[in-house]
Amino acid sequence: MQNSFDKSDLTNWVKSYTQELFAWAIQKTGDRQLSEDLVQDTFLIAAEKITTFKKDSQPKTWLIGILKNKIADHYRKVMRKNQVFNDASDPFSLFFNSHGSWIKSAMPQMWDNEPAHLLDNPTFNKTLDGCIENLPKMMGACIRLKFLAEKKAQLICQELGITDTNYWQLIRRAKLHLRSCLETNWFNSN
Amino acid sequence: MMQKLMMRMMLSCQKATELTEKRHHAHLSTKQHIQLYLHTSMCSACKEYQKQSAALEQLFRVKEKMELQPDSKLDTRQLEEKIIKKLKEK
């Protein structure tokens, strides 16, 4: 079957867009090795699907769309794989005692500056990425999926076969970890 | 009577953080709203948690929408060659 694109087009796309796709993937995943694999897969899928590419659309947008799906797939897989161990791997006793009160060392402290423009600060961004990186797998994947912003929470739940309640409980645990990590490594680190 | 009512409305901190998060993702009942309000008006740690939780949500939203920052430090030549090689193998 003949179509208007061939392998030389794709080769040109690799040269033109790899850098941007790679940067995008790193931004969403915080993981270079994973990003390399995802970008490579993106082009391999693009090669298979090239006939579905519409001539008047932007190659970059099309490729980013494929990449986005690849990233989401990856984190969905991570979540499915880690679901079983979910409860055992994150005892609440890290933050609360048996009466449900804050453990003294885990009590939220006042943060000394407003977080509104923090993300403009590359150092803060790095700290946040580091904290996300250190989350238990299931929670990390959940937060990463949130960053893709392509799907509503409800759909993520449906796909993973978890309830809404489980979903925001998961987000809550992730946030308990994140706030504690940011407090230690950013807000009160001086 | 009043004391009994107060006891029923009192949340643990753990429960209060649960409702704080639930509020970002789902609807709270009137009772839950009041419970959370009562708790955070007396518990400074949970009040702080509430602020920080909202701040994190805000950070997440900004991060979601963050546009690509051109990063000239990324050298992707090797990756490009690798991908082109793979494509040729197909």
| Residue A101 in this model has a pLDDT that exceeds 60 | yes
**Is A109–B18 a contact, with Cβ atoms under 8 angstroms apart?**
no
CA angle (A115 as vertex; A109, A118 as ends), nearest 5: 130
Give the single-character DSSP code of A96.
B
Least CB–CB distance from A18: residue in B14, B21, B79: B79
Mean pLDDT on A91-120: 81
pLDDT at A167: 79
Mean pLDDT on A7-36: 88
**Is B62–A119 a contact, with Cβ atoms under 8 angstroms apart?**
yes
Note whether B10 contacts A: Cβ–Cβ < 8 A: no
B45-75, pLDDT tens digit by residue?
A: 999 999 999 999 888 888 777 665 555 567 8
Complex ipTM: 0.80
pLDDT at A18: 94
Q: How many CB atoms lie under 10 A from the CB of residue A125?
A: 18
- Share of residues in chain A with pLDDT > 90 (%): 26
A53-96, pLDDT tens digit by residue?
A: 887 889 999 999 899 889 888 888 887 777 654 444 445 578 99
